[in-house]
């Protein structure tokens, strides 16, 4: 009757037994369930560790939040149980994020310079409004990023046209 339960908490919920009552009334069953629970915890820890080790080699490196969700736990637990692996995962992701931001900024600057040069070649000044209209749905749209690149393009265009 009680052997269908797989967790001690299942028995507690189904039959209203306290943990102590289970241990006293059904010592064999309690021992079996406690053993299986320990084995389950050990297996989950090993699985989590193998997922973390694999994540250390993944490209692109996953974020800590995504990795915790994949494992089915929370970040604080992973940080506590696997501090070295967790730090490695976080460092790799942070470095990747830096590289991605840098790559996107370079691509953005090239796009801005190309559009500004095209406008100058067409005899139009690359104003902020024209630039924003021609930028489309760029990930980076901040004026503070556009205006310096427009200035560089204008200076480059003027220096080329003087020769």
Every domain of the chain and the residues it spans:
1-44, 82-163
Gap between the Cα atoms of 8 and 35, Å rounded: 11
Residues 31/21, Cβ–Cβ less than 8 Å: no
Q: With 60 as the cut, is the pLDDT of residue 3 above it?
A: no
Mean pLDDT of 22-46: 86
Percentage, residues of the chain above pLDDT 70: 90
Q: With 50 as the cut, is the pLDDT of residue 34 above it?
A: yes
Q: With 50 as the cut, is the pLDDT of residue 1 above it?
A: no
Gap between the Cα atoms of 163 and 156, Å rounded: 11
Give the rounded distance of the alpha carbon of 150 from its chain centre. Answer: 33
In this prediction, residue 160 has a pLDDT band, given cuts at 50, 70 and 90, of confident
The tokens of 82 are what? 């696997």
Q: Which helix (H) or strand (E) holds 55?
A: helix 27-55
Ranges 2-6, 29-33, 88-92, 135-139: which has the least confidence:
2-6
Cis before 152 (ω within 30)? no
> Under 8 Å CB-to-CB from 146, ≥6 apart: which residues?
112, 128, 131, 132, 135
| pTM for the full predicted model | 0.67
Give the model confidence (pLDDT) of 11-21 as tens digits.
Answer: 777 877 788 88
Give the model confidence (pLDDT) of 53-107 as tens digits.
Answer: 999 999 999 999 999 999 999 999 999 999 999 999 999 999 999 999 999 888 8
Percentage, residues of the chain above pLDDT 90: 36
Tokens 């079996």 sit on residue? 32
Gap between the Cα atoms of 90 and 47, Å rounded: 19
What confidence score (pLDDT) does residue 2 get? Answer: 45
Instruction: Give the helix ranges, DSSP H, for 56-142.
Output: 64-71, 75-81, 83-121, 128-135
């Amino acid at each position: 009757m009680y052997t269908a339960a797989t967790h001690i908490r299942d028995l507690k919920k189904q039959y209203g037994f306290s943990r102590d009552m289970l241990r006293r009334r059904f010592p064999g069953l309690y021992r079996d369930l406690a053993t299986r629970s320990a084995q389950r915890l050990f297996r989950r820890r090993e699985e989590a560790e193998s997922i973390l080790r694999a994540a250390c080699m993944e490209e692109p490196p996953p974020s800590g939040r995504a990795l915790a969700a994949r494992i089915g736990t929370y970040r604080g637990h992973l940080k506590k149980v696997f501090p070295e692996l967790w730090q490695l995962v976080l460092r790799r992701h942070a470095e990747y994020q830096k590289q991605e931001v840098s790559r996107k900024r370079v691509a953005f600057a090239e796009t801005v310079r190309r559009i500004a040069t095209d406008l100058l070649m067409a005899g139009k000044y690359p104003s902020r409004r024209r630039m924003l209209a021609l930028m489309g749905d760029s990930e980076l749209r901040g004026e503070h990023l556009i205006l310096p690149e427009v200035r560089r393009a204008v200076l480059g265009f003027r220096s080329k046209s003087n020769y």
